[in-house]
Amino acid sequence: MKLSNTRPSRVGRNPFVHKLRFTMTETIKIGLMSVTVFPVRLLLVSSFMLLAWPFAFAASLGRSEFVLEPQPWWRRFIDLCLRVIMRAMWFCGGFHWIKVKGEPAAPSEVPILTVAPHSSYFDAIPVTMTMCSIVAKLESGSIPIWGTLINYIRPVYVFRSDQDSRRKTVEEIKRRAQSGGEWPQIMIFPEGTCTNRSGLILFKAGAFIPGLPVQPVVLRYPNKLDTVTWTWQGPAAFKILWLTLCQPHNPIEIEYLPIYTPSNEEKENPALFASNVRKLMAKALELPLTDLSFDDRDIILTQGPLRIHDYSGLLEFNQLVCRSGLRSGSRNELLEEQPKRARKLQGERLSLDDFARVLNLPVTDSLTQVHSFFDQVNTKGIHPTSSVYHMLRILLNEAGDGQIDIRHFVIALSTVHQPSKSMETLKLAFKMYESEEDGDVQEEDLATILEIMLGVKEVELSGLFIARQT
C-alpha cells in the first residue's frame, strides 16, 4: 500500500493536541508542590467556590430567563460579593496578578465581546471579573455548585439535542444584543472549542450574525510551562487543575482591543465579518490562522490502522458539505438511505441535477462544488503535487464528464461524519460494492474505497489479491 506523506501546510500544528514534557527540575518541583502547596490551594479554591454558591443561588431565585427585571440593591450587593469571592478563588489558585490591557466598552456601546483563543476552563477568569453572560451547553447548568454560578450570569444555553438549537441560539443572541444595553454583555468564544493556542481556528458566525459592533478580547497565558491548556488530546481536566495549582504563579493577560464596527458588506455577510475579526485578533496575538474548525477535530484526530493519512482533501470536502446545508442530523438520515439507493444504481453516474434530487437539496454553489469534487475534470489546472489534486484523483477516477458515482460521495461523507468508526464506513462501502451473486468486491473497487477513506493517492492491492487466490 502506497501512502501519501503530504500534510497540508494550511493546517500546521494540530490545534487539538496538547503534549506536556517535563524536565527533571520541573518534575521535582511538581512533586514537592503536590505534597505541600497543592492540598492547601485545592482546599481554599473549593472553599471559595462553596462560599459563592449560596450567593448565586439566592440571587437567581425568582428571576425570569427571558425578561430582565430592575436590579434591587441586594442583588447589586450580591454581584459585588461574588466578584470579590471569585477573585479570591483565582488568587488562591496561583493567578495572583491578572494583567488587563485596554478598556472594556460599555454594554450600551458594544453588546458582544469576542474572546480568543479559547484553550482552557481557566478562560472563565475574565467572565467572573465582568459577570458577562456566555454561550454554554445546557449540561453546564446542571454541574453541582459551578452550574449555579453559570446560571447566575444568565447564559445563552445551547440545546445540542435540538436540531433547531443553532437557530434558537442565534435568535437569543440577537434579541439580547439589540436590547440597547439592558441585558449584560455576552462574552462569546467564537472558536467554539478549546485548542492549544498554536493558531486561531475558524470562527463560528453566531457572534457576528446580529451585525452589531463587537469588542475583540485576546487572552494570553505567558507561563513557561503550559499547564492550563485543556483540549481534545492531552491531559484530562483534573490533571490540568493539579499541575496548575502546583505552579508558584500562573500569569494571565487579558487585552481589550478597539471596538470593531462592521461595514455594510460585513453586516450582510457574517462569515466575512467573523473572518476579518479573526485576522485582527491573530495579528494582536502574533498567531497564525489555522484553516480548521470545531467540526474538523475528529477528522484530524483519527487513530488506528484505518486512520486518515492525508486529511487535506477530506477537510475541504467536509467544509463544502457543511456549507451545502448537510448538518449532523441530515447526514445520519443520508447514511441510512443512500447506501441502499447507491446499491440499486450499481455505479450509475449522476449529473448535478440528479445529485441534488437524490440529496433533496437545492442546486447551490456549495452543492455544485461538492459534486465537482468527484469529477476528474476539476483536476485540470491544479498542480499535480497539491493535496487537493491528490484527493480529487483519489476520490475520483471519474471521466470528467460532469457526472459522478454516488457511492464515492457516500463513502467520503461517512468518513468525515464518523472518522473514528472506520469499520462502520468499510461495512457500508462493502454493501454498496459487493456482487449480488457471491458477495465479492472487485480489487479496483476496494482500492477506491480505501483511497477515499485513508485520503491517499494510490492503494496497491495486487499482492493481497494474489496471496488470497493462492
Pick from 381, 377, 354, 356: nearest CA to 366: 356
Give the count of domains, the chain: 2
Q: Are residues 257 and 385 in the same domain?
A: no
pLDDT per residue as tens digits for the range 73-124: 888 899 999 999 999 999 999 999 999 999 999 988 999 999 999 999 999 9
- Statement to judge: residues 278 and 327 lie in one domain: no
Taking the C-alpha atoms of residue 281 and residue 275, their distance in angstroms, rounded to an integer, is 10
Which among 265, 293, 321 is the end of a domain? 293
> Could you read off the pLDDT of 222-235 as tens digits, one per residue?
988 999 999 999 99
Same domain, 285 and 314: no
98 and 238 assigned to the same domain: yes
281 & 320 share domain: no
Kindly provide the residue ranges of all beta strands, DSSP E only, lying in 225-364, ordered along the sequence.
252-256, 349-350
How far is C-alpha 183 from the geometric centre of its chain's CA atoms?
27
Mean pLDDT throughout 19-33?
A: 94
Residues 336, 220 within the same domain: no
Same domain, 356 and 410: yes
Taking the C-alpha atoms of residue 343 and residue 157, their distance in angstroms, rounded to an integer, is 42
Identify the domain containing residue 369 by its residue range.
301-469
- Residue 18 included in any domain: no
Q: Is position 12 within any domain?
A: no
What local confidence, expressed as pLDDT, does residue 67 receive?
Answer: 73
**What DSSP line would sit under 239-258, residue for residue?**
HHHHHHHTSS---EEEEEPP
Does any domain span residue 19?
no
Grade residue 6 by pLDDT with cuts at 50, 70 and 90. very low
| pLDDT for 461 | 59
pLDDT in tens, 417-469: 888 888 888 888 888 888 766 667 777 778 888 888 877 666 655 554 444 44
Residue 222 falls within a domain, yes or no? yes
**279, 218 contact by CB (below 8 A):** no
Residues 286 and 370 in one domain: no
- Residue 341's H or E segment, with its range, is helix 328-345
- Is 164 among the domain residues? yes
One domain for residues 259 and 318: no
CA distance to 97, 242, 423, per residue, from 45 (Å): 16, 12, 45
Q: Per residue in 310-359, pLDDT tens?
A: 777 788 888 787 777 676 666 777 777 777 777 777 667 888 888 888 78
Domain membership of residue 344 (yes or no) is yes
Please give the pLDDT value at position 381: 39
Q: CA 403, CA 377: separation in Å to the nearest integer?
A: 10
More confident residue, 3 or 240: 240
What pLDDT band is residue 254 in, cutting at 50, 70 and 90?
very high
The answer to the question of residue 5 being in a domain is no
**Domain stop point among 293, 323, 353:** 293
> Is the pLDDT assigned to residue 154 strictly greater than 80?
yes
- Cell (9 digits) for 465: 489479491
Which of these three, 250, 266, 293, is where a domain ends? 293
Whether residue 284 is contained in a domain is answered as yes
Phi, psi for 163 (deg, rounded to 5): -65, -25
Whether residue 396 is found in the same domain as residue 374: yes
Pair (155, 228) in one structural domain: yes
What's the mean per-residue pLDDT of the chain? 83
The pLDDT of 195-200, averaged and rounded, is: 94
pLDDT higher than threshold 80 for residue 382: no
- 126 and 160 housed in the same domain: yes
